[in-house]
C-alpha cells in the first residue's frame, strides 16, 4: 500500500538576469515581458531522444519547461522524479513529440521502484505509455492543477496510475487506458487501474478512462477524504486471475468508491462496469452521500450496485445480468428511477457485443464509438461515450 506523505515544495525565483543567462546557454529558452512591463517566466523547450536525456530533462524541469519526447521506447534505470512546480501561466509539460508513439518502460528498474513520481504543481503529461514498472507505474503526489491526458499505464507491478497525498487539488485525468497491472508480491491485492488514495483535495476529475484486466479494482478511492468526480469512464474484466497465481487475492470491483473510514460524497456519472469479478459499483463502506447518476452495470460476478451501509443517492442507473443481483442497497440509501425501482422499466440494449468498446480510441484520445450497452434512452443508463 502507498502511504501519504507531506508536501515537498521547491520555490523557484528567476530574475531577468538569471533568465537571460539561461537563454544564452540553451536553445529554445525565451524570456518575455508582460503588457505591464514585468518579467514573465522563462520558457524552454527541450527535445529528447535518449533515455539519459529524458532522465536529465525531467530532473531539471522548471516552470515553463516543455519536454518533447521523440518516438521510441525508453528504459530508465531510476525513477523519473521531479519536485519542480509549474504555475498556472508557466506549466511544466512532458509529452510525446507530435503524433509520435512513446513508451517508457520500467523493466530495467530495481525491484520496488516506481516508473515515475511527480511531486509538483501544474504539470501536463500527455500521449505517453508507462509500462512494465516493478511497482507503481505513474504516481502523482499532492499535485495542484495537474493535467494527465491520453496516457496508457500497462502491465506494472502495482497500480497503473496513482493520485495521492493531501493538497491533491484541481487535477484532471482524461482518456487514460490502464490495464494488466498486477502486484505479484501481494497476489493481486493492490494493483488497480487508477488509485486515488490516502489523501485529500477538491476539484479532481477522472473522465474518459478505460480501466480493465487489472488484478484488483478498476478504480479505487480508498481513504481519499474529498469528493472526486468520475464520469464517462468504463471499467471491465478486473479481478480475474490472469497470472496463474495459486494464491490470487484480487477484489475485482469496477468502481470502488471509498473505504478505510472515509465518508465522502463522490460524484459518479455516466460510467459503465461490466464483466468484473466483484461488484460493478460499490461504496466499500463509504458512509458518505455518494451520487450515482446514469451508470450501467452489466454481467458482473457480484452485485451491479452495492451500497449497503452509506447514504448514497442513486438515480437513473441500469443494472442487467449481474450474478450477485441488480442492487444491494441499505436503508439509508436513496434510490429513484433506477431499473430496479418500481415503475421503471428496463430498456433493451442495442448490443451486448463489446468488441467495438475494446477498439482504438479516436485521434483526439476519446473513447471509441460503440453501440455496446447503449439503449437509445435519454433517461436511464450510460450513454457509453
Residues serving a catalytic function are: 256
3-state secondary structure the chain: CCCCCCCCCCCCCCCHHHHHHHHHHCCCCECCECCCCCECCCEEEEEECCHHHHHHHHHCCCCCEEEEECCEEECCCCCEEECCCCCCCCCEEEEECCCCCEEEECCCCCCCCCCEEECCCCEEEECCEEECCCCCCEEEECCECCEEECCEEECCCCCCEEEEECCCECCEEECCEEECCCCHHHCCCCCCCEEEEEECCCCEEEECCEEECCCCCCEECCCECCCEEEECCEEECCCCCCCCCCCCCCCCCCEECCCCCCCCCCEEECCEEECCCCCCEECCCCCCCCEEECCEEECCCCCCEEECCCCCEEECCEEECCCCCCEEECCCCEEECCCCCCCCCCCCCCECCCHHHHCCCCCCCCCCCCCECCCCCCCCCCCCC
Query: What does the alpha-carbon distance between residue 200 and residue 262 come to, in Å, rounded to a whole number?
Result: 11
C-alpha cell of residue 25: 546557454
Amino acid at each position: 500500500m502507498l502511504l501519504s506523505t507531506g508536501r515537498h515544495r521547491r520555490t523557484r525565483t528567476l530574475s531577468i538576469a538569471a533568465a537571460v543567462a539561461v537563454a544564452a546557454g540553451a536553445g529554445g529558452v525565451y524570456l518575455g515581458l508582460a503588457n505591464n512591463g514585468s518579467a514573465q517566466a522563462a520558457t524552454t523547450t527541450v527535445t529528447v531522444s535518449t533515455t539519459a536525456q529524458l532522465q536529465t530533462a525531467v530532473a531539471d524541469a522548471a516552470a515553463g519547461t516543455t519536454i518533447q519526447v521523440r518516438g521510441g521506447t525508453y528504459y530508465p534505470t531510476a525513477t523519473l522524479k521531479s519536485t519542480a512546480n509549474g504555475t498556472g501561466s508557466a506549466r511544466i509539460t512532458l509529452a510525446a513529440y507530435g503524433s509520435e508513439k512513446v513508451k517508457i518502460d520500467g523493466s530495467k528498474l530495481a525491484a520496488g521502484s516506481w516508473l515515475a513520481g511527480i511531486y509538483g504543481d501544474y504539470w501536463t503529461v500527455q500521449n505517453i505509455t508507462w509500462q512494465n514498472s516493478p511497482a507503481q507505474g505513474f504516481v502523482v503526489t499532492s499535485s495542484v492543477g495537474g493535467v494527465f491526458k491520453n496516457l496508457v499505464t500497462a502491465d506494472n507491478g502495482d497500480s497503473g496510475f496513482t493520485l495521492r497525498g493531501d493538497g491533491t487539488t484541481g487535477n484532471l485525468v482524461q482518456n487514460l487506458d490502464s490495464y494488466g497491472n498486477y502486484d505479484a508480491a501481494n497476489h493481486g491485492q493492490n494493483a488497480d487501474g487508477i488509485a486515488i488514495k490516502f489523501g485529500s483535495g477538491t476539484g479532481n476529475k477522472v473522465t474518459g478512462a478505460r480501466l480493465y484486466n487489472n488484478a484488483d479494482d478498476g478504480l479505487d478511492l480508498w481513504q481519499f477524504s474529498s469528493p472526486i468526480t468520475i464520469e464517462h469512464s468504463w471499467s471491465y474484466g478486473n479481478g480475474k486471475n490472469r497470472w496463474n497465481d495459486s494464491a490470487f487475492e484480487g477484489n475485482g470491483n469496477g468502481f470502488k468508491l471509498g473505504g478505510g473510514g472515509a465518508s465522502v460524497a463522490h460524484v459518479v456519472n455516466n460510467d459503465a462496469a461490466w464483466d468484473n469479478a466483484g461488484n460493478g459499483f460499490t461504496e466499500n463502506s463509504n458512509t458518505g452521500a455518494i451520487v450515482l447518476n446514469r451508470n450501467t452495470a452489466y454481467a458482473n460476478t457480484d452485485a451491479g450496485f452495492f451500497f449497503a451501509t452509506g447514504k448514497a443517492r442513486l438515480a437513473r442507473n441500469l443494472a442487467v445480468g449481474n450474478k450477485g443481483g441488480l442492487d444491494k442497497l441499505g436503508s439509508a440509501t436513496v434510490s429513484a428511477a433506477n431499473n430496479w425501482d418500481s415503475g421503471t422499466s428496463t430498456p433493451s440494449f442495442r448490443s451486448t457485443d463489446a468488441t467495438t468498446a475494446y477498439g482504438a480510441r479516436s485521434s483526439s484520445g476519446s473513447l471509441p464509438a460503440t453501440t455496446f450497452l447503449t439503449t437509445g434512452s435519454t433517461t436511464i443508463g450510460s450513454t457509453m461515450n
